[in-house]
Amino acid sequence: MPDPSPEPAFIPYVALTRGQKARRFIRRNPTMIAGALLLALMALVAIGAPWLHTVNPVDMNPIDRLKSPGAGHWFGTDMYGRDSYSRVIYGSRISLFVGLVVAALTSVIGLAVGLVSGFVRRLDNVIMRAMDGIMALPDLLLAISFVALTEASVRNVIIALVIPQTPRMVRLVRSIVLVLREQPFVESALAMGARLPRLMVRHLLPNTLAPLIVQGTYVMASAVLIEAGLSFLGAGTPPEIPSWGNIMAEARSYVRVAFWLLLFPGLFLALTVLSINLLGDGLRDLLDPRIARRMR
């Protein structure tokens, strides 16, 4: 296979400085670095929203409705005269927050349930049936039903996104545990009298972390996208909280008269999801021993 890294075949281990190691790392993982940088930028925007915005995002100013981008309103104004730039900036907070929390929650729940399911055979069957039941329903429909049938709030959207994504995490962790369970070190630990919880935390957990993190990034990307889709269909975060999906939902009728209202939030959303995906891909390439071996 062609080797992508154009460097001499033999480098003495001692000779590499930290800087050279860093540069080699960057050269070898351009996508991951790009993704990480972009994501960091988005995070900065989200955190810095209170300082970066120009106008209060909820201020209505009907006199100035539907102005095209220009001085004072860099992304124009929407149908209520609200500043689109400020709304998009603030929108990053909701989208990133939802994405992060959903990824974290699914990881924690998936880890806990997956560990138990992989190890405790009696519960395994029941748990997997339940997971199958949840997986039998399409993600978006389940999420829409949950949010539409309770009340629109950020908390409910998060719950609605966690439910369909958790089974995949559970299956992932479980599959790893099933393999690890057979390993000699587990047997010997048990023989030495290690108790189950301690075994799970000290020995199994570290091995599940890498794939978990990678999957977690995909869950985050997925959550951000589905949240936007939910808001677009009218079953997402409450409309007075600016999230990218909400902003685009309101903008959909104005595609012909004010397409910038749809353009900017969509751009931000795509870039954010892209960055998360790139990061995930890079992490996976880095952490998966087989691929890492090949790329070296």
Partner 1 sequence: MSRRNRIAATGCLLAGLLLAWSGQAPAETTIRAVMTAEVKYLDPHWTTADITQQHGYMVFDTLFALDEKGQPQPQMVDTYRLSADKLTYTFTLRDGLKWHDGKPVRAVDCVASIKRWAVKDAAGQKVMARAASLEAANDKTFVLKLKEPYGLTIRALAKEYSYVPFMLPERLAVQDPSKPFEGDVIGSGPFMFAAKEWVPGAKTVYLKFKDYVPRKEPASYYAGGKVVNVDRVEFVVIPDQSTAVAALEKGEVDYLQRPQVDQWPLLRKDPNVGMYRGDIYQMQIHPNHLAPPFDNVKARQALMVMANQEEYLRAIAGDPQNWRTCYSYLGCGGWLETDAGAELLKKPDLERAKQLFAEAGYKGEKIVVMAPSDFATINAASLTTAALLRKIGVNVDLQTMDWGTLVSRRPIKDPPSKNPAGWHIFHTTSGYAALKDPWGHANISTACDKAWFGWACSPRATKDLEELGNLTPGTDAFKKGLAEYHTALMEDVPYVPLGEFFAYAAYRKDRLSNIIEAPYTLFWGMVKK
Partner 2 sequence: MLVYVLRRILATLPVMGIVVVFVFLLVRIAPGDPAAIIAGDYATPENIQKIRVGLGLDKPIYEQFWIYLTSLARGDLGRSLHSRLPVSQLILQRVEPTAALALSTLSFAILMAIPLGILAAWKAGSLIDRAVMVFAVGGFSIPIFWLGFLLIYAFSIRLDLLPVQGYVSFREGLLPFIRHLILPTIALGLVYMALLARITRASVLEVLQSDYIRTAYAKGVRPPGVLFAHALKNAAVPVVTTIGVGFALLIGGVVITESVFALPGLGRLTVDAILQRDYSIIQGVTLIFALVYALVNLVVDLSYTLFDPRIRY
Binding to partner 2 by residue 232, rule CB under 8 A? yes
Q: Dihedral angle at the C-alpha atoms of 270, 274, 277, 281, nearest 10 degrees?
A: 160
Among 34, 38, 43, 60, binds partner 1 (CB under 8 A): 60
Q: Which helix (H) or strand (E) holds 20?
A: helix 18-28
Q: Which option in partner 2, partner 1, none does residue 182 bind, with CB closer than 5 to 8 A by kind?
A: none
Binding to partner 2 by residue 38, rule CB under 8 A? no
Query: 83 φ, ψ to 5°?
Result: -75, 120
Among 75, 90, 119, 146, binds partner 2 (CB under 8 A): 146
Residues 69-108 that bind partner 1 (CB under 8 A): 79-81
Q: Compute CA distances 70 → 42, 73, 260, whole Å.
A: 23, 5, 11
Structure tokens at 142: 């389940």
Size of the site for partner 1 (CB under 8 A): 23
Binding to partner 1 by residue 140, rule CB under 8 A? no
Residues 6+ apart with CB under 8 A from 62: 80, 81
Binding to partner 2 by residue 120, rule CB under 8 A? no
Binding to partner 2 by residue 140, rule CB under 8 A? yes
Q: Compute CA distances 13 → 3, 5, 19, 70, 229, whole Å.
A: 20, 17, 14, 56, 50
Q: Which residue, 99 or 245, has its beta carbon nearer to partner 1?
A: 245
Q: Which option in partner 2, partner 1, none does residue 80 bind, with CB closer than 5 to 8 A by kind?
A: partner 1
Among 185, 240, 289, 293, binds partner 1 (CB under 8 A): 240
Residues 6+ apart with CB under 8 A from 44: none
Selection from 272, 269, 276, 257 nearest residue 232 by Cα:
269
Which residues contribute to the site for partner 2 (CB under 8 A)? 1-4, 31, 129-130, 132-133, 135-141, 144-146, 148-151, 221, 225-226, 228-229, 232-235, 248, 252, 255-256, 259, 262, 266, 269-271, 273-274, 277-278, 281, 290, 294
Which residues contribute to the site for partner 1 (CB under 8 A)? 60, 62-63, 65-66, 79-81, 148, 151-152, 234-235, 238-240, 252-258
